């Protein structure tokens, strides 16, 4: 009986042990694969701070958690529209820029686009990129290298798009020549028709989770998705089977940033981490790992050893998905009629 | 309380007695090997194991995808040496499973005794609220707990997961222990009382020993459900409290899933080894439940 | 209050308090939220409104609800039809523990991984298609995954142990001599099973039904992972309302309605089985 109580006490102590040794732990809340393990390890070695990472798969998940009361994260990686929301909702702590000298490497072009926080008072850009289209070159002979690919009946039932409202509607809007942040009912209606009448009938599903695996297995011949996810599922010797491109029509773009939320326990370490990430040699390792172009930290581009899956120039026609505020309801109802109707 | 122990008369249709002695049952543990029901059973078992075979096969695949390219132990190597986050998630799952099942079994068993032994005013109330969690879809329980924790400002983390898991385990513990107590003859307690035993002794020396199998199977069930749970945990997890199912989910989008396959095989083997070692133990549980 | 009553209360109080605090209170908050206004970024604003309930009657939602109902009925029926013979065979077997272990062992692998394995099994280049192709039965791959059929298959797969266990427990308690007696009296094997066995395992069937239908109805992960664009179920909608559209009142309204329906359904089933039991006992005397 005594042994059981001892064991119980130990186990219960474990439960609440998140509260010990705060100066030595950094809590990250990040996208599921976004910071390579070796960078984390280098940080841990350099500063002697242990890093604990929790993952989210979408901004909405992350925001629901933070709004719902999850506290104790030191650095979070939201996308641009959510950075704006979090600033407005006073969920963030201001950054002490003196502790982040590497900010000088951040590309001014990127900062210009980040209209919600151009002087980095609350957020530091982490990476700017876009989802594109991947086609199985081996099995598909001729195809349009634009969003109209999804209207192609020959690929019926072998395609998927992301289960992401802003991405799909944004693609349609961009293809029709409108802004991805449009709130004009006529433009939205046109986008809805394009999606429902031409794209959706050819799609198997809207998939933001397994698209890469399904593409790699040959189940899908063309998917809308993120380059790094798709190439990750294939061995390097098969990479030339894939044609990944960002359609010239343009589309929605994302800019993920590092922020420090209220309730962070280790603000000192958070600043150290943010600064560490933008050390050009370190950031180059991040770019190499995912074959990203140096969109945010141009200095790091000089240290890169790999070829990116797409180039920064291709991002030219792309627009950041901005926060729509109350107008999001328009997109919601649009998305409902796309997703929930047969 | 008139509980007559009737002997079974084949010609009268009475509600079957709860305990049938082994020899009689043995007569009907049947002769026909390839009957309809046996065939269905075998097919269903194969059906249940098919995904398991797939998981195990791919854990030995030399490449990441679904195409088999050769045998390799690389994922096991990665599992054991390069998966710090995975093991942390596993540890979290394990801690929560043990603690929540211990607390649930303790509270649930105690309550089962109270309900079956005595009649008191709040009895129906307690029976109803302990039944409800079992019949609600997990998404509803998960959402209600997230909203609850945020409303009363309890931070999300290991503690909130612990609370959620204990809560959804309680009804099952209650069910299992009550079922066992249904077959317990409380008149023995009366007899013990007549012989001078106190109520506490009645509890600890008579009731509890006879429900030990039900306690163990409750714990087992609670641990299983806690380790498995995804939906509810998804809503109430917080910093540093990623559990194994949550981690697996995050890897499905991007990640080396064969490593998770390797972990699955290791877990299954570990449990089978444990089960074989405690074989006799399990037989007592099965026999008396 | 006499001592006996007090003890009963003392024993049950800890669990009762726990459940009241951590189950009933959250549920009440949901009831409350369903009548409040949606906050812009999630959460609620303290303003009474029936908006959430009005929004529920959106035809798109109703369509999903109908589909969920249909899928649930089909999946539950298949599950029970398979589980009954299994429970029967297991109860009559000499190696009960062996079968029990076999039914439970797959459970010890994470359910997400097993669902994911189904994708590998049902894909165009997966196990089933490769098998059929190598046997020459088909030329082109069948489209087995990312549709309603896949969702039903995997739902049956995930829930069949929950049906087998209660059925096995109840059938195990059944005295098979009664079947023999019925045969002696001239009944065929099938008649014996239908008129003698099934009625007396009714409680097991009801338990299996409850433990199967409700999880299937509220399923989230399965339709998400193996379903196609038209396989969304009500569980997905509820989660979307919380995480994506941040409409907590709507999610609460859906949850409340489902809770009420589940509770009513279960209560009705229990009451009617209780009545039958009472009738049976009366008939015996």
DSSP letter at A296?
Answer: S
| Confidence category of residue B246, pLDDT binned at 50, 70, 90 | confident
- The answer to whether A208 contacts B85, with C-beta atoms less than 8 Å apart, is no
Tell me which of C273 and C78 has the higher pLDDT.
C78
Q: Give B54→chain C minimum CA distance, Å.
A: 6
Rounded Cα distance between C258 and C263, Å, is 8
Reported as a single tens digit per residue, the pLDDT across C62-76 is 999 999 999 999 999
Q: What share of chain C is helix, strand, coil (3-state, %, to 5)?
A: 75, 5, 20
Using CB atoms, pick whichever of A157, A326, A332 lies closest to residue C143: A157
Inform me whether the C-beta atom of residue A20 falls under 8 Å from chain B C-beta atoms: no
Judge whether C252 and B134 are in contact, CB under 8 Å.
Answer: no
Using CB atoms, pick whichever of B126, B131, B136 lies closest to residue C16: B126
- The answer to whether A27 contacts B251, with C-beta atoms less than 8 Å apart, is no
DSSP letter at A68?
Answer: T
pLDDT for the residue numbered B26: 41
Rounded Cα distance between B171 and C24, Å, is 13
Number of Cα atoms under 13 Å in the Cβ half of residue C228: 23
pLDDT for the residue numbered C280: 62
pLDDT for the residue numbered B9: 43
- The answer to whether C63 contacts A341, with C-beta atoms less than 8 Å apart, is yes
Which chain B residues contact residue A11 at CB under 8 A?
A: 95, 98-99, 102
pLDDT for the residue numbered C5: 66
Tell me the average pLDDT of chain B. 79
Which chain A residues contact residue B159 at CB under 8 A?
A: 15-16
Inform me whether the C-beta atom of residue A45 falls under 8 Å from chain B C-beta atoms: no
Judge whether A76 and A243 are in contact, CB under 8 Å.
Answer: no
Which chain A residues contact residue C229 at CB under 8 A?
A: 200, 203-206, 339
pLDDT for the residue numbered A17: 53
- Domain borders along chain A are 23-129+254-310, 132-245+318-339
Q: What is the DSSP string of A102-145?
A: GGGGB-HHHHHH-TT-TT-SSEEEEEEE--EEEEETTT--S--S
Angle at B172 between CA B101 and CA B153, to 5 degrees: 60
| Per-position b or e across C246-255, b if 16+ CB within 10 A of its CB | bbbbbbbbbb
Inform me whether the C-beta atom of residue C78 falls under 8 Å from chain B C-beta atoms: no
- The answer to whether C243 contacts A60, with C-beta atoms less than 8 Å apart, is yes
Inform me whether the C-beta atom of residue B215 falls under 8 Å from chain C C-beta atoms: no
Reported as a single tens digit per residue, the pLDDT across B113-130 is 888 877 887 888 888 888
Q: How far is CA B17 from CA A272, A328, B5, B6, B200, in A?
A: 72, 64, 8, 8, 31
Rounded Cα distance between A90 and A92, Å, is 6
Residue C284 structure tokens: 């015996």
Classify domain B88-288 by CATH number.
Answer: 1.10.3720.10
pTM for the whole structure: 0.85
CATH topology of domain A132-245+318-339: D-Maltodextrin-Binding Protein; domain 2 (3.40.190)
Q: Give B67→chain C minimum CA distance, Å.
A: 8
Judge whether A14 and B100 are in contact, CB under 8 Å.
Answer: no
Which chain A residues contact residue C41 at CB under 8 A?
A: 63, 67, 85, 89
Residues of chain A scoring pLDDT < 70: 1-23, 342
- The H helix count followed by the E strand count for chain C is 15, 2
What number of C-beta contacts closer than 8 Å exist between A and B? 111
Reported as a single tens digit per residue, the pLDDT across A14-39 is 665 544 445 689 999 999 878 998 99
Give the residue range(s) of CATH 1.10.3720.10 domains in chain B.
88-288
Rounded Cα distance between B87 and B244, Å, is 8
- The answer to whether C246 contacts A217, with C-beta atoms less than 8 Å apart, is no
Q: How far is CA A258 from CA A82, A98, A147, in A?
A: 11, 16, 31
Which chain A residues contact residue B257 at CB under 8 A?
A: 213
Rounded Cα distance between A51 and A56, Å, is 16
Which chain A residues contact residue B158 at CB under 8 A?
A: 14-16, 18
Q: How far is CA A79 from CA A97, A178, B272, in A?
A: 20, 22, 45
Stated as kind and residue range, the H or E segment containing A186 is helix A185-193
- Is C68 part of a structural domain of the chain? yes
Q: CA nearest A203 in C: which residue?
A: C229
Which chain B residues contact residue C120 at CB under 8 A?
A: 54, 58, 66
Q: CA nearest C144 in A: which residue?
A: A219
Rounded Cα distance between C21 and B144, Å, is 12
Inform me whether the C-beta atom of residue A67 falls under 8 Å from chain C C-beta atoms: yes
Rounded Cα distance between A335 and B11, Å, is 66
Inform me whether the C-beta atom of residue A233 falls under 8 Å from chain C C-beta atoms: no
Inform me whether the C-beta atom of residue B148 falls under 8 Å from chain C C-beta atoms: yes
- Angle (deg, nearest 10), helices C96-104 and B36-59: 40
Inform me whether the C-beta atom of residue B27 falls under 8 Å from chain C C-beta atoms: yes
Judge whether A220 and B49 are in contact, CB under 8 Å.
Answer: no
Residue C219 structure tokens: 């399923």
Angle at B105 between CA B100 and CA B106, to 5 degrees: 100
DSSP letter at B156?
Answer: P
Inform me whether the C-beta atom of residue B114 falls under 8 Å from chain A C-beta atoms: no
Using CB atoms, pick whichever of C42, C43, C63 lies closest to residue A342: C63
pLDDT for the residue numbered B4: 42
pLDDT for the residue numbered B250: 78
Rounded Cα distance between B25 and B17, Å, is 12
What number of C-beta contacts closer than 8 Å exist between A and C? 67
Query: Which residue, among A54, A59, A63, A218, would best test binding to B if mutated, counting the most B CBs under 10 Å from its CB?
Result: A54
Residue B244 structure tokens: 């194994």
| Confidence category of residue B5, pLDDT binned at 50, 70, 90 | very low
- CA quadruple A40, A45, A49, A53: dihedral, nearest 10: 20
Inform me whether the C-beta atom of residue B288 falls under 8 Å from chain C C-beta atoms: no
Rounded Cα distance between C285 and C282, Å, is 6
Q: CA nearest A337 in C: which residue?
A: C60
- Is C8 part of a structural domain of the chain? no
Inform me whether the C-beta atom of residue A14 falls under 8 Å from chain B C-beta atoms: yes
Rounded Cα distance between C152 and C73, Å, is 10
Over residues C83-110, the mean pLDDT reads 86
Rounded Cα distance between B38 and B32, Å, is 9
Beta pairing partners, C109? none
Reported as a single tens digit per residue, the pLDDT across B44-76 is 999 999 998 888 888 888 877 667 778 888 888
Cα-to-chain-centroid distance, residue A307: 20
- What Rg do the C-alpha atoms of chain B give, in angstroms? 24
Which chain B residues contact residue C3 at CB under 8 A?
A: 199
- Is C147 part of a structural domain of the chain? yes
Residue B183: phi and psi, rounded to 5, are -95, 5
Reported as a single tens digit per residue, the pLDDT across C218-276 is 999 999 999 998 899 999 999 888 888 888 899 999 999 988 988 888 888 778 777 76
Q: CA nearest A217 in B: which residue?
A: B66
- Same fold for the pair A23-129+254-310 and A132-245+318-339: yes
Closest CA to A131 of A158, A161, A174, A157: A161
Q: CA nearest B35 in C: which residue?
A: C89
Contacts of C131 (CB under 8 A, 6+ apart): none
pLDDT for the residue numbered C2: 58
Rounded Cα distance between B154 and B148, Å, is 8
Q: Give B14→chain C minimum CA distance, Å.
A: 6
- The answer to whether C99 contacts B248, with C-beta atoms less than 8 Å apart, is no
A neighbours by CB contacts (3+ pairs under 8 Å): B, C
B neighbours by CB contacts (3+ pairs under 8 Å): A, C
Inform me whether the C-beta atom of residue B231 falls under 8 Å from chain C C-beta atoms: yes
Using CB atoms, pick whichever of A60, A217, A340 lies closest to residue C63: A340
Cα-to-chain-centroid distance, residue C80: 11
Residue B43 structure tokens: 């097919």
CATH topology of domain A23-129+254-310: D-Maltodextrin-Binding Protein; domain 2 (3.40.190)
- The answer to whether A55 contacts B246, with C-beta atoms less than 8 Å apart, is yes
- What Rg do the C-alpha atoms of chain A give, in angstroms? 22
Of the ranges B31-40, B160-169, C108-117, C152-161, which one carries the lowest mean pLDDT score? B31-40
3-state secondary structure of C37: strand
| Per-position b or e across A97-107, b if 16+ CB within 10 A of its CB | eeebebbebbb
Over residues B208-237, the mean pLDDT reads 86
Residue B27 structure tokens: 């007569």
- The answer to whether B65 contacts A213, with C-beta atoms less than 8 Å apart, is yes
Judge whether C116 and B263 are in contact, CB under 8 Å.
Answer: no
- The answer to whether C255 contacts B144, with C-beta atoms less than 8 Å apart, is yes
- Is C225 part of a structural domain of the chain? yes
Q: Give A6→chain C minimum CA distance, Å.
A: 22
Q: Give A198→chain C minimum CA distance, Å.
A: 14
- Is C42 part of a structural domain of the chain? no
Domain CATH number, residue C126 = 1.10.3720.10
- Is C198 part of a structural domain of the chain? yes
**B137 pLDDT higher than 80:** yes
Domain count, chain C: 1
Residue B17 structure tokens: 């007695």
Judge whether A92 and A260 are in contact, CB under 8 Å.
Answer: yes
- Residue C92's domain spans which residues? 60-233
Interface of A with C in 179-198 (CB under 8 A): none
pLDDT for the residue numbered A173: 96
Judge whether A57 and B234 are in contact, CB under 8 Å.
Answer: no
C neighbours by CB contacts (3+ pairs under 8 Å): A, B
Inform me whether the C-beta atom of residue A254 falls under 8 Å from chain C C-beta atoms: no
| Confidence category of residue B194, pLDDT binned at 50, 70, 90 | confident
- The answer to whether C225 contacts A209, with C-beta atoms less than 8 Å apart, is yes
Rounded Cα distance between A37 and A50, Å, is 13
Inform me whether the C-beta atom of residue A46 falls under 8 Å from chain B C-beta atoms: no
Using CB atoms, pick whichever of A203, A332, A341 lies closest to residue C245: A332
- The answer to whether B28 contacts C92, with C-beta atoms less than 8 Å apart, is yes
Reported as a single tens digit per residue, the pLDDT across C49-58 is 998 899 888 8
Judge whether A231 and A288 are in contact, CB under 8 Å.
Answer: no
pLDDT for the residue numbered A291: 94
Angle at A289 between CA A285 and CA A291, to 5 degrees: 105
Residue C144 structure tokens: 């087995």
**B23 pLDDT higher than 60:** no
What percent of chain B clears pLDDT 70, i.e. is strictly above it?
A: 81
């Amino acid at each position: 009986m005594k042994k059981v109580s001892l064991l119980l006490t130990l186990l219960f102590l474990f439960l609440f042990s998140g509260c010990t040794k705060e100066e030595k732990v950094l809590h990250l809340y990040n996208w599921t694969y976004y910071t390579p393990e070796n960078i984390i390890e280098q940080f841990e070695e350099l500063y002697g701070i242990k890093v604990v990472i929790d993952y989210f798969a979408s901004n909405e998940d992350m925001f629901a958690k933070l709004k719902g009361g999850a506290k104790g994260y030191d650095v979070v990686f939201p996308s641009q529209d959510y950075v704006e929301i979090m600033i407005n909702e006073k969920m963030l702590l201001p950054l002490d820029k003196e502790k982040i000298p590497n900010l000088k490497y951040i590309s001014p072009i990127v900062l210009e686009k980040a209209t919600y926080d151009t002087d980095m008072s609350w957020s530091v850009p982490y990476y700017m990129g876009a989802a594109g289209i991947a086609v199985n070159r081996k099995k598909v002979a001729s195809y349009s290298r634009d969003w109209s690919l999804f209207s192609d009946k020959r690929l019926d039932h072998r395609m998927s798009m992301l289960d992401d409202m802003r991405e799909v509607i944004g693609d349609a809007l961009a293809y029709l020549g409108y802004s991805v942040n449009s709130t004009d009912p006529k433009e939205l209606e046109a986008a809805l028709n394009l999606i429902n009448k031409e794209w959706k009938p050819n799609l198997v599903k809207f998939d933001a989770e397994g698209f890469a695996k399904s593409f790699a297995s040959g189940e899908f011949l063309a998917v809308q998705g993120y380059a790094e996810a798709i190439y990750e599922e294939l061995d390097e010797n098969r990479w030339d089977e894939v044609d990944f491109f960002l359609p010239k029509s343009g589309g929605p773009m994302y800019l993920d940033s590092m922020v420090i939320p209220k309730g962070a326990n280790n603000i000192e370490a958070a600043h150290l981490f943010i600064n560490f990430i933008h050390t050009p040699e370190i950031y180059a390792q991040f770019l190499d790992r995912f074959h990203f172009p140096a969109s945010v930290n141009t200095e790091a581009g000089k240290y890169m050893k790999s070829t990116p899956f797409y180039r920064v120039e291709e991002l030219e026609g792309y627009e950041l998905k901005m926060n729509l505020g109350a107008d999001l309801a328009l997109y919601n109802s649009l998305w409902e009629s796309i997703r929930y109707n047969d | 309380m008139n509980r007559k122990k009737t002997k079974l008369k084949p010609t009268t249709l009475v509600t079957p007695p709860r305990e049938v002695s082994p020899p009689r049952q043995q007569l009907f543990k049947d002769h026909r090997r390839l009957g309809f029901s046996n065939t269905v059973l075998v097919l269903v078992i194969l059906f249940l194991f098919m995904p398991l075979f797939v998981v195990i096969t791919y854990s030995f695949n030399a490449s990441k995808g679904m195409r088999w390219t050769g045998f390799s132990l690389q994922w096991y190597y990665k599992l054991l040496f390069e998966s710090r986050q995975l093991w942390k998630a596993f540890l979290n799952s394990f801690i929560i499973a043990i603690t929540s099942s211990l607390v649930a079994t303790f509270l649930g068993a105690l309550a089962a005794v109270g309900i079956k032994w005595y009649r008191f005013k709040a009895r129906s109330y307690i029976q109803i609220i302990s039944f409800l969690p079992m019949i609600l879809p997990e998404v509803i329980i998960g959402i209600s707990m997230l909203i609850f924790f945020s409303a009363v400002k309890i931070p999300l983390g290991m503690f909130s997961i612990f609370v959620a898991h204990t809560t959804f385990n309680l009804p099952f513990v209650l069910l299992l222990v009550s079922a066992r107590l249904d077959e317990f003859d409380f008149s023995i307690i009366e007899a013990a009382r007549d012989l001078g035993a106190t109520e506490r002794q009645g509890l600890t020396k008579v009731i509890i020993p006879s429900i030990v199998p039900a306690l163990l199977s409750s714990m087992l069930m609670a641990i299983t459900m806690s380790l498995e749970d995804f939906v509810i945990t998804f809503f109430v997890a917080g910093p540093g409290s990623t559990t194994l199912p949550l981690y697996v989910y995050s890897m499905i989008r991007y990640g080396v899933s064969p490593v998770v396959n390797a972990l699955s095989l290791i877990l299954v083997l570990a449990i089978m080894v444990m089960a074989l070692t405690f074989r006799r133990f399990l037989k007592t549980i099965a026999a008396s439940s | 209050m006499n001592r006996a009553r007090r003890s009963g209360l003392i024993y049950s109080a800890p669990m009762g308090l726990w459940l009241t605090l951590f189950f009933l209170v959250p549920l009440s908050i949901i009831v409350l939220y369903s009548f409040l206004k949606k906050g812009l970024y999630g959460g609620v604003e303290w303003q009474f409104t029936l908006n959430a309930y009005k929004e529920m009657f959106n035809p798109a939602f109703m369509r999903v609800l109908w589909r969920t109902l249909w899928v649930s009925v089909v999946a539950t029926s298949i599950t029970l039809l398979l589980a009954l013979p299994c429970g029967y065979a297991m109860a009559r077997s000499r190696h009960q523990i062996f079968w029990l272990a076999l039914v439970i062992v797959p459970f010890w692998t994470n359910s997400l991984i097993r669902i994911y394995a189904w994708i590998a099994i049902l894909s165009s280049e997966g196990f089933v298609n490769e098998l059929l192709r190598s046997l020459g039965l088909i030329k082109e791959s069948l489209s087995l995954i990312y549709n309603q059929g896949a969702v039903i298959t995997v739902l049956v797969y995930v829930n069949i142990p929950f049906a087998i266990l209660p059925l096995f427990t109840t059938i195990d308690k059944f005295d098979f001599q009664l079947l023999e007696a019925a045969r002696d009296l001239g009944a065929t094997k099938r008649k014996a099973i239908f008129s003698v066995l099934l009625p007396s395992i009714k409680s097991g069937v009801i338990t299996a039904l409850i433990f199967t239908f409700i999880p299937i109805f509220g399923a989230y992960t399965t339709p998400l992972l193996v379903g196609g664009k038209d396989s969304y179920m009500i569980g997905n909608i509820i989660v979307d309302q919380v995480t994506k559209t941040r409409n907590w009142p709507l999610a609460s309204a859906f949850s409340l309605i489902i809770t009420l329906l589940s509770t009513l359904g279960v209560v009705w089933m229990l009451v009617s089985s209780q009545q039958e039991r009472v009738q049976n006992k009366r008939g015996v005397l």
